[in-house]
Amino acid sequence: MIRLAIQKSGRLSEDSLNLIRECGISFVSSTYKLKTEATNFPLEILFLRDDDIPGYVQDGVADLGIVGQNVLVEAGFPALEVEALGFSKCRLSLAVPRGEEYSSVASLQGKNIATSYPEILGRYLAGEGVQAQLHTISGSVEIAPSIGLADAICDIVSSGSTLLGNGLREVETVFRSEAVLIANQNLGAEKQHLLEKLRFRMQAVRRARRNKYIILNAPVAALDQVKALLPGIKSPTVTKLAEEGWVSVQSVVNEDDFWHVTDQLKAVGAEGLLVLPIEKMIS
Ligand code: ATP
Ligand code: ZN
């Protein structure tokens, strides 16, 4: 049995639960319960505040956890990270009141900065050779300048609309974060084996999310070009169509390249493109 801690309720919760489910692990979750046991994998899931997760994993109360890198690094345990998970991407940024003059980080010399991330920000400012007074507050950081508590803030930004609504301007990115799987560093052999099994499944889910299955028809004359555009995992599958001079090609394409590749496929004469999601991808 291995214990995984995830956020009880917040921005990481749903994606964490979905990832576990997509790994083929079934469990009953209820928002009232603090833990649940999977029915088809030796896994126990604990529901905690995200800030508590790194410490619990470090101490071995939980074997594994899913948290944002921002929380992990702030807690001082970056070495626990074992796998980046690709969701909850956000950045930690410095922001100043919109009317305020700002040319570089040096403009923050001697200023008061409100943040929930004194460790990460402190290290960043030290690296830039800037000395400032950091005021640690745990929430609603973005209102600090308007109530006279600080000259600037450092907080999580995803779209920037919260900053805008509070009359702030984002000026520097201090840290980029995404959700990560973390693990205690002294897992026994059995738990280590379960961790590897979980990682293998998480990697397969992630790879599948990043790729699409594509099926199309192409004139035989264009086959070499189509093959070059769709190298797939090993090579594309090519079958003859009933219509003379045409083939059907099946392959896998990376989501990032998808639209670019599609345009080129059409340009060389491909028709009838079908694109399907992939559930798992095992290399
Ligand atoms: P808790 O009550 O568990 O302490 P919280 O209020 O500290 O929750 P959330 O706001 O739910 O935390 O955010 C959890 C994590 O999600 C953050 O630490 C960060 O890694 C990530 N995150 C925060 N804001 C965003 C965002 N706007 N977009 C994407 N990810 C985000
Ligand atoms: Zn939190």
* Per-residue burial over 96-110, b = 16 or more CB atoms within 10 Å of its CB, e = otherwise: bbeebebeebebbee
Q: Which CATH number fits domain 211-277: 3.30.70.120, 3.40.50.150, 3.40.50.1100, 3.30.565.10?
A: 3.30.70.120
Predicted TM-score of the model (pTM)? 0.89
At position 226, the amino acid (one-letter code) is V
Q: How far apart are CA 138 and CA 27, in angstroms?
A: 33
pLDDT digits (tens, 9 = 90+) for 33-78: 899 999 999 999 999 999 999 999 999 999 999 999 999 999 999 9
| CATH class of domain segment(s) 2-87+178-187 | alpha beta
What is the topology classification, in CATH, of domain 90-177? Answer: D-Maltodextrin-Binding Protein; domain 2 (3.40.190)
Ligand nearest to the CA of 9: 1
Q: What is the pLDDT of residue 30?
A: 73
Give the distance (Å) from ligand 1 centre to CA of residue 88: 8
Helix (H, G, I), strand (E, B), or coil: what is residue 266? Answer: helix
Phi–psi pair at 233, nearest 5 degrees: -80, -55
Give the distance (Å) from ligand 1 centre to CA of residue 51: 10
Residue 141 CB–ligand 1 contact under 6 Å: no
CA-nearest of 9, 218, 223, 182 to 79 is 182
| Cross-sheet strand order for the sheet of 43-48 | 35-37, 43-48, 2-7, 64-68, 179-183, 81-84
Give the distance (Å) from ligand 2 centre to CA of residue 43: 24
- Is residue 161 very low, low, confident or very high in pLDDT (cuts 50, 70, 90)? confident
Q: How far apart are CA 168 and CA 98, in angstroms?
A: 5
Give the distance (Å) from ligand 1 centre to CA of residue 264: 40
Q: Which atom of ligand 1 is nearest to the CA of 48?
A: 3
Residue 43 CB–ligand 1 contact under 6 Å: no
Q: For a ligand 1 pocket test, name from 74, 88, 120, 158 the mutation site with the most ligand atoms within 8 angstroms of its C-beta.
A: 88
Percent of the chain with pLDDT over 70: 100
